[in-house]
Structure formats: structure tokens, C-alpha cells
Structure 1
Amino acid sequence: MTRTGERAVKSRLRTPPWVARIEEPDGRVLGAGVLLAPDQVLTAAHVVRPGRTYVVHFVGVPGVPGVAATAREDEHVPQREDAFGDRIGDLALLRLADPLPAEHTTRLYRLASPHGPVSMYGFPAGDDGGRWHGATLVAARGRDNQVQLRPQTPDELAAPGFSGGGVVDHETDEVIGIVLSVDEGPGSVFSYMSPTETILSHLPQVAAWTDGAEAVDPALRTGAPGAARRLDVPFATELASWFRGEGWPVLVTVVPARSGRAWTLTRAITLADRELRTQQNTSAFGHDPPETVPPAGGHDLALDVKGMTATQVMDRIAERLGIRGDPRPERLGALRVPLAAVLVGVDQAAEPDALLGLLDRLAQQGARLLLVFRRRGGRAAQAAESFVQRPLRERWSRLHHEIDRIVDEWGPALDERRDRVAPDPGARHLLDQAEAGVRRTRMLRAWVAHTPEREKEPRRADLLFTFEDAAERRRRRLEQALSVLDARLRRREELLGRITAEWPLCQERATAQGGDRVVEAYRLYELALSLLRQTPCDVDAAETAVRRFVGFCSGTATAEEGPR
């Protein structure tokens, strides 16, 4: 068992002392919470209301009676909908009337791109002692970056008694967020978690009880000294598009220090960070063009790599992703969620060539990279060619080749087989889809051949990705259709071989028996042979005719009436 596995098992064999059960004074369980300080419990806002008194039990600390607790108005962030209809907030702090010893507390942990297995502690109905439920982090949802939790088994769906409960990452054994809500309605399978950095954006005071590297270096935040405060709208639009995950995954750009572009860059980095994206700074840019505003959670980290070695950069990336003990680039390839990183001053790194080699490996593993150089030409031009222009040309070239194969090889091969053999009735829809895909690909080839070069720019790479996905789907359907027809053709050849081998023996036996048996044998033989040689061959009808012929010849069946 791995060390990570051992940690996860140990965690789920005990009840941590920081687990809180929150109740009404009459004993009705409302939800769960996390003890962050001797007198502070973090929970979901829908569990408690400001000004009311609650009773908090710490089920992992034997002998401690229930503690009275209240929530203050300024520490209660109710759930609401933002301008886009997404749920945000739903966080609160409870203040305990009687503090607990500090050793019973825990700390939150910042973790970029949450992924993989987790456990959450809560209190399902009738279980006042609580229990662990296992789940897998799926994906962020909405502008508040609440993360979906898929239960590991149907019995582990988070019930309402889990609201506010801590979520523990198996890789790091750290508390990386709290449970907020459960999907409503029959058949729901998801619950939602507010990750640490989203919690900090709503309750910045929680930073006092938080560990883990911050995503953004101080020099790359809006408000850093020395930057000219002037928005470069075209550049801001380009950055926001990259942070939204649009276009080519690697963006190479040149941003001189202390320039309008530099402030535009730090503004985008700040707004795209879950922790730094607060109501205060978003309102400050409320009058900016909407297309210049990136979404929160658009990057996992933003590093000023000036003077850093490639190893130091890899260590920072590994720390943000919760990779401990073995920070090799290969491990990033195993992560379900790809890395999204901003690296500023790449040409000023201590080992720029070694760093570019590392970044090339990360890009090949699917990482999204925003590479910022301070000077034009030189390494910036080389990086643009090797990370963007050359791979983009190669992808378009491969797409052309795939389209040509579909139209000039796979399509004719399908027509040739359909001329020779009729499909099984159950496969006709598949074959019709495959043929329709060839027709559409023929039109796509004409469109691509006349596409203006501006449509092949990196910022429009989503068009390329759409075409690649379409070509891949059509190729798979053609492969399946050809496989179905090839199986029918092989069966046809087997039947031909069978009656060809059987006819001399049948003729000999029929002649010995005399009478009309020779005539009948010949009739059945000719019928089966004609069906097998017919194009397109109906293999099912031919197989029935072959069975009649073989059965008649072997004496196990009599001839059945059929076409003469």
C-alpha cells in the first residue's frame, strides 16, 4: 500500500477532534463544521443564522460537553446568485462561547485544481457519531468555483447532515474545503464543495488558519508598486480568452516591466485567481468591457520566474498541486485535471533553456501555459515557434491527412464492402451514420481548403479542435462499420468454402440413393450458391440456404420449400 493510501485509511478509521456537529438547542442536527481556532468553527451559511445560539458537539473529543456558539453578521456569507445565475457564498464562522484546546484544531490547505479521491465527515440522519463518506472531485462549477463531489458508492452521497463538513484530500491528508450542498431531486448523485481559496475570497480572516502556497506571487498582483494603471483592451481580451480555456493552450507574449501591458497582465492574473477575486476588486473593474474580465479559477498558479532554476519552478508547481516527495514532471501527466500556469519573465530565469525544456514536457502532457517574456526576439520568438506555431501547423497538417483518409480511403472502402455484402439489419443505422460522416467530411475538406489563414490563428484554435473531434468520431464510426461488414464477408467466405467442400460428397451420396435426391441436392446447392454470389450478398438468407443444403445432404433434415 502506498503512503498516501495508508494516510487515507488511517484518517477514515478515526474521528478527528476538529469535526463539529452543529445542533439546534433542542438537539436537532443541522450540519457539520471544522474547528479552525479554539473558538472558531467554519461551516456552511445555510446551516446557521446570525444572532441565533446553537450547540456544537465535538464527537472526536470524548468527554467534552456541547458548546454554545453564535454567528456574527459580518462572518456570515449567505448563498446567493451572481449576475450570471451561479450560486456563490454559503460560508459562515461560528464563535464558541467556551474555547477548546488548540491541539484539537486543524488548518485549511490551498490546493490548485482539486482532483482525485477525498473523504468528507458528516452526520446522516440517525447517526449522531457521524461517519466518513468517500468521493471523487470532479470539476469546478460556476464563477465561485464550487467543486462537484461524486460519491464513491451510491450509499455515500452526502446527506444534509454533511453540510459544512470538512473535505480531506487523500494525496495530502489535508482539509481542502467544506461541503456546501447536495443536488436536489430524484437520482441526484453530486454534492458540492467550496475549496479553500474560494473560502478565503469570502472570509479573508480564515487565512490565519490556512496553509499551502498562494497561487499568485506578490509581484504579479494588481496593486503591486511601479505598474502604470492603464488597461490595454486588446491584450486584456486576449488574456481573458486564454483564462477561459479558449484557443491554443499555450500563449506566448512579451510584456515589458512597468508598462501598460504589465498592469493589464497583473489585473488579469488577480481576477483569474480564486482567492484574490473578491467583490471589492471585481467592482473596481465593473465598468471594463466584459470580454476583458477572466473567470475566477482560470489558472492554478502564477509565478515570477526571474532568477529561478527549472528545478525550483517544478517544486513550486508540485507544491501547488499537492505532489509530495516525488515532484517529477511525469507525475503531472497522471493528474485528471490539467495544469494551468502563468510564468512571467521566462527569459530572465536562471536556466531559461532548461526551463523551456521542462515547460515543453508539461505542454505535451496537456498543460495550459501562459509564457511571458520581457524582451522581444531571441527566446520569445523561439518559444512562439516551438510552443505555438510549429505544433499548430502540425495539427492542421494531421487534420488534412485524416480528412483525406476518410474521404479517399475509408469512404471508398465502405462503399466497396457495401456493394459486396448487405449489413445485418441491426447495423444499418451505424453504416448510414458512417456514410453520412464521409459526405460531411467531403464538405469539410472543401471548407478547410478555402479557409482564410486568419481562421488558423492560435486564438481560433477551438475551430481546429472541433474539426479534429469531428474527424475522430467519423473515423471511429467508419472503423466500426468496416469491422461489421468485414465480419459478414468472412462469414460469406466460410459458407462458400463449406458448400464447395460439401457438394462432391453430397453428390456421391445422392447418386447412390438414386431417384430425385440428386435433383433436389443440386437445386439446394444452386440456390445457396446463387445467394452467396449475389451482390450485395444477404448473408443471413444465404446461411439459411446453406443449412438446408447441408442438412439434406447429411440426411438430418428434409428439403424445405424455397425459391426454385
Structure 2
Amino acid sequence: MTRTGERAVKSRLRTPPWIARIEEPDGQVLGAGVLLAPDRVLTAAHVVRPGRSYVVHFVGVAGVPGIAATAGADEHVPQRRDAFGDRSGDLALLRLAEPLPAEHTTRLYRLAAPHGPVSMYGFPDGDDGGRWHGATLVAARGRDSQVQLRPQTPDERAAPGFSGAGVVDHATDEVIGVVLSVDEGPGSVFSYMSPTETILSHLPQIAAWAEGAEAVDPALRTGATGATGRLDVPFATELASWFRGEGWPVLVTVVPARSHRAWTLTRAITLADRELRTQQNTSAFSHDPPETVPPAGGHDLALDVKGMTADQVLDRIAGRLGIRGDPRPEGLGTLRIPLAAVLVGIDQSAEPDALLGMLDRLARQGARLLLVFRRRGGRAARAADSFVQSPLRARWTRLHQELDHIVDELGPALDERRDRILPDPGTRPLLDQAEAGVRRTRMLRAWVAHTPEREREPRRADLMFTFEDAAERRRQRLEQALAALDVRLRRRGELLGRITAEWPLCRERTDGRGETVIEAYRLYEDALSRLRQTPCDVDRAESAVDAFIAFCSGTAPGKEGAS
């Protein structure tokens, strides 16, 4: 077991002192919380109300009685629905009437693109001592970047007593967020977590109790230099599209320092960061065209790489992803959720060629990269070709080849087999779908062959991805259909072998017995003609073969046989 894994297991074998159980004064359990400071507990806003008194118990600290606590209105962010109907907020800080020792506290940890297994400690109904539940982080949802949690087993479904519970990442053994809502009803499965950076965007005072690298370098934040600029709408639209995950995964662009493009870039980076995107800065851009506004959580980190070596950049990436130990590029490729990174000043780094080589490996492993150069030509032009144009052309070429393979090879192979053999009745829908896929692919190939160049631009790559997915599904369906027919053809060959081997033996046994010979020959010819018929009905042919062999062996009903 790795050292990281050992830490995670040990943390779940004990009850950490920072775990809080929040109750009404009458003892009714409302939810859980996280002790961030000697007198402050973080929880979900729907667990508590401002101005009311609550009792907080720390189940991992022996001998400490319940402590009175209240939530202030300025530290209570109720759950709201934004203009798109997504949930936002639902966070609160409780102030304890009596502080605890500082060693009982924990810290929130910033972790980009949360992924993998986690644990949370909550208080389901009837279990005031609490328990650990395991879950897997699925994906961020909505503009508040709340993360979906899927229970590891049906018995570990989160209950209302888990609201406000700290979520511990197994890879780092750090608290990376708190549980917010829990699906309700008999079929409920999922719960949702607010990650650290989203928490900080709603309650920035918590930054004093947070650790981990911030996603955005200070120089890349809007207002960092005190300068303002004019929005470059086409460039802002292109950036917002990349931050939404649209188009080709690598965007190579040139942004001179202290230009309108530079201001547009920092605006996009700031708005796409979970921690930096606040109600204040989104309001400042509320009149901008909506297509220029990126979603929160659109990147994992944004680095100004001027003067940095490739290893230094890789270390920063690994730190943001919570990778401890060996941060080689191939290690990053094992992540279930790919990296999304903005790197500014590639041509001003300490070793641009080595950096581009490392980034090329990450791109091949599925990373989304926004590569910003300060000067045109040279490395910027070569990077645009190697990261975007060449691989994009190669993908279109492979798509053409795949379509040709389906139409010119798999389709005729299916026709040839269907001419020779009838399918099993249970596979007819599959074969019908496969044939329909060939027809649709023939039309798609014709469309792709005449696709205008503007449809092949990097920003329109989603169209190609859709075609690739369709081609893959149709190819797999055709291969399944061919495999099903090949099973029938092999069975036909086996039956031919059986009847061919049985006929000489049957003739020896029936030699000199006139009517028996005639009947055996009739059954043999019937079975043989069915096997040679095209398309062959294997089921009827097999029945005829069985009848012939049964007659020859003397086991046919009502027949004396040839024995």
C-alpha cells in the first residue's frame, strides 16, 4: 500500500477532532460541520439559521460537552437558484461560544478537478456517534461547480445527517469540501459537495484557514496591474468556448503583454476560476455578451510560465492536482478527469522547447491546454501546427479511413454473410441496425468528403468528435453482427462435417437393405440440400441433420434403424 493510502486508511479508523455534530438545543441532530478555527465551524447553510442558537458536539474529542454556537447573517450564504436554475451557495459559519484548542482544527485544501474516492463523516438518523461513508467524486455540475458524490455501496448513501460534513480525499488525506444537499426520496443515490474554491468564493474570510496552491497566478487576475482594457469580443468568445470544453482541446494563441487581448485573457481566466469568480466581478461584466462569459471551473490552473523550467511547471501542475511523489507526465495521464490548464508566456519560459515537449505528452493523454505566446511566428507558429493543425488533420484522415472501412469492407462483408446464412432470430434487430448504420455511414462519408473548410476549423472540432463517435458505434455494431453470423457459419461447417463423416458409415450399416438405404439416402439428401441452400437456415438444417443421424443410429422414433 502506498504511503498516501496508509494515511487515508488511518484517518478513517479514527474520529478526527474537527468533526462536529450540530444540534437543536433540544437535542435534535441537524447535520455535521468542520472545525476550521478554535471558534469557527463550517457547515451547510440549510442546517442552521442566522441569529438562532445551536449546540455543537465534537465526537472525536473526549470529555468536551456540547458548546453553544450561532451563525451571523454576514456569514450565512443561503442556497439560491441562479438564472439558469442551478443551485448556488448553501454555506455558513458558526461561531462557538467557547473556543477549542487549535490542535483540534483542520484546514480546507484546494484541489483542482476533484476525482477519485473520498470519505465523509456524518450522523444518520439514530447514530449520534456518527460514521464514515465512502463515495466517489463524479463530476462538477452547474455554475457553482458543486461536485456530485456517488456512494461506493448502497449502504453508504448519504442521509440528511451528512449535510455540512467534511469530505476527505483519499489521495491526499485532506478535507477538500463539505457536503451540501442530499437527494431525497426512495430512489435517492447522489449527494453534492461544495469544493474548497467554491466555498472561498462565497466566504472569502475562510482563506485564512485554507491551504493548497491557488489556481491562478496573481499576474493573471483581472485588476492585478490596476489596468483596464477594452473587451476583444471575438477573442473573448473564442476563450469562453475553450473554457466550456468546446472545440479542439488545445488552443494556441498570441497575446502581447499590456494589450486589449491581454486584458481580455485575464478577465476570462478570472471568471473561469471557482475561487475568483464572485458576485462582485460577475456583476461588473453583466452587460457583456453572454457568449463571452466562461463558466466557473473552466480550468484547473493558470500559470505565468515566464522564466520557469519544464520541471517547475510540471511540479506546479502536480501540486494543483494533489499528486505527491512522482509528478511525471505519464502519471498525470492516469487521472480519470483530464487536466485543463492555461499557460501564459510559453516563449518566455526558461526552456520553451522542453516545456512544449512535456505539454505535448500531456495533450496526447487528453489534457486541455490553452497555450499563450507573447510573440508571433517562430515557436508560436510551430506549436499551432504540432498541437492543433497537424493532429486535427490526422483525425479527419482517420475519420475518412474509418468511414471507408465501414462502407467498403464491413458493409460488403455483412452482405456476403447474409447471402450465405440466415441469422439467429434473436440477432435480427442487431443486423438490421448494422445495415442501417452502413447506409447512414455512406451518406455521412459523402457529406464529410464535401465538408467546407470552415467546418474543419479547430473551434468546430465537436462536429468531428460527433462523427467519430457515430462511426465507432456503427463499426462496433457491424463487428458484433459479423461475429454473430460467423458463429452460424461455423455451426453450418460443423454440421457439414458431421453429415459427411456419418454418410459412409450409414451406407455400410444399411448395405443390402433396400428400403432402409432409400430412406437413409432421402434423409441425407434433405439435410445436405438444406446445408447447401443459400442463405442457409441453420436451425432447420440442424434438425434435418439430427433426423438423418438418428435414423442411421437407430434412435429415430418409430424407426427400426440401421443397426
Deviation per residue, 1:136-186 (Å, 9 max, x gap): 100001000100111111000111000000000011100000000111222
- Conserved in 2, the CA contact under 8 Å of 1:227 and 1:259? no
Aligned partners of 1:227 and 1:440: how far apart in 2?
Answer: 54
Amino acid at match of 1:112: A
Aligned partners of 1:62 and 1:485: how far apart in 2?
Answer: 70
Unaligned runs of 5+ in 1: none
Aligned partners of 1:119 and 1:322: how far apart in 2?
Answer: 16
Deviation per residue, 1:93-140 (Å, 9 max, x gap): 000001111110000000000000100000011111111101110000
Aligned length: 559
Runs of 4+ in 1 over 2 A off after TM superposition: none
Amino acid at match of 2:524: Y
Amino acid at match of 2:495: L
Counterpart position of 1:88: 88
Q: How does 1:345-494 map to 2 (within 5 A)?
A: 345-494=345-494
Measure how far apart 1:497 and its partner are: 1.1
Aligned partners of 1:412 and 1:239: how far apart in 2?
Answer: 45
- Conserved in 1, the CA contact under 8 Å of 2:41 and 2:95? yes
Deviation per residue, 1:484-510 (Å, 9 max, x gap): 001111110110111011111111212
Measure how far apart 1:511 and its partner are: 2.2
Amino acid at match of 1:291: E
Amino acid at match of 2:275: E
Counterpart position of 2:166: 166
Q: How does 1:65-80 map to 2 (within 5 A)?
A: 65-80=65-80
Aligned partners of 1:362 and 1:540: how far apart in 2?
Answer: 54
Deviation per residue, 1:375-395 (Å, 9 max, x gap): 000000000000000000000
Counterpart position of 2:552: 553
Aligned partners of 1:528 and 1:67: how far apart in 2?
Answer: 89
Deviation per residue, 1:223-243 (Å, 9 max, x gap): 021644110000000000000
Amino acid at match of 1:3: R
Aligned partners of 2:4 and 2:307: how far apart in 1?
Answer: 33
- Conserved in 1, the CA contact under 8 Å of 2:8 and 2:172? no
Measure how far apart 1:12 and its partner are: 0.8
- SS of equivalent residue, structure 1 residue 41: strand
Counterpart position of 1:314: 314
1:152 and 2:143 are equivalent in the alignment: no
- SS of equivalent residue, structure 1 residue 73: strand
Normalized against structure 1, the TM-score is what?
0.98
Q: How does 1:127-526 map to 2 (within 5 A)?
A: 127-225=127-225, 227-512=227-512, 514-526=513-525
Counterpart position of 2:101: 101
- Conserved in 2, the CA contact under 8 Å of 1:549 and 1:559? no
Measure how far apart 1:2 and its partner are: 1.5
Deviation per residue, 1:15-41 (Å, 9 max, x gap): 000000000000000000000000000
- Conserved in 2, the CA contact under 8 Å of 1:79 and 1:88? yes
- SS of equivalent residue, structure 2 residue 431: helix
Aligned partners of 1:186 and 1:366: how far apart in 2?
Answer: 38
Unaligned runs of 5+ in 2: none
- Conserved in 2, the CA contact under 8 Å of 1:167 and 1:179? yes
Aligned partners of 1:73 and 1:440: how far apart in 2?
Answer: 60
Give the direction of change, closer, same or farther, for the CA distance of 1:375–1:226 in structure 2 (3 Å limit): farther
- Conserved in 2, the CA contact under 8 Å of 1:20 and 1:59? yes
- SS of equivalent residue, structure 1 residue 516: helix
Amino acid at match of 2:111: L
Amino acid at match of 2:18: W
Aligned partners of 1:353 and 1:226: how far apart in 2?
Answer: 33
- SS of equivalent residue, structure 1 residue 409: helix
Aligned partners of 2:545 and 2:171: how far apart in 1?
Answer: 63
Greater mean deviation of Cα atoms: 220-229 or 86-95: 220-229
Normalized against structure 2, the TM-score is what?
0.98
- Conserved in 2, the CA contact under 8 Å of 1:228 and 1:259? no
Deviation per residue, 1:366-419 (Å, 9 max, x gap): 000000000000000000000000000000000000000100000000000000
- SS of equivalent residue, structure 2 residue 147: strand
- SS of equivalent residue, structure 2 residue 468: helix
- SS of equivalent residue, structure 1 residue 134: strand
Aligned partners of 1:182 and 1:292: how far apart in 2?
Answer: 33
Aligned residues with identical type, % of pairs: 87
- Conserved in 2, the CA contact under 8 Å of 1:227 and 1:260? no
Deviation per residue, 1:444-494 (Å, 9 max, x gap): 011011110010000000000000000000000010000000111111011
Greater mean deviation of Cα atoms: 175-184 or 27-36: 175-184
- Conserved in 2, the CA contact under 8 Å of 1:201 and 1:276? yes
- SS of equivalent residue, structure 2 residue 324: coil
Deviation per residue, 1:49-104 (Å, 9 max, x gap): 00100000000000000000000001000001000000000000000001111110
- SS of equivalent residue, structure 2 residue 508: helix
Amino acid at match of 1:507: R
Aligned partners of 1:227 and 1:425: how far apart in 2?
Answer: 72
Amino acid at match of 2:4: T
- Conserved in 2, the CA contact under 8 Å of 1:227 and 1:262? no
Aligned partners of 1:526 and 1:434: how far apart in 2?
Answer: 35
Amino acid at match of 1:532: L
- Conserved in 2, the CA contact under 8 Å of 1:43 and 1:178? yes
Amino acid at match of 2:79: Q
Measure how far apart 1:187 and its partner are: 1.8
- Conserved in 1, the CA contact under 8 Å of 2:134 and 2:151? yes
- Conserved in 2, the CA contact under 8 Å of 1:137 and 1:150? yes
Amino acid at match of 1:32: A
Aligned partners of 2:226 and 2:282: how far apart in 1?
Answer: 21
Measure how far apart 1:7 and its partner are: 1.1
1:542 and 2:541 are equivalent in the alignment: yes
Greater mean deviation of Cα atoms: 383-392 or 3-12: 3-12
Counterpart position of 1:531: 530
- Conserved in 2, the CA contact under 8 Å of 1:18 and 1:34? yes
- Conserved in 2, the CA contact under 8 Å of 1:552 and 1:559? no
Measure how far apart 1:558 and its partner are: 3.4
Aligned partners of 2:377 and 2:228: how far apart in 1?
Answer: 24
Measure how far apart 1:515 and its partner are: 4.1
Aligned partners of 2:203 and 2:543: how far apart in 1?
Answer: 76
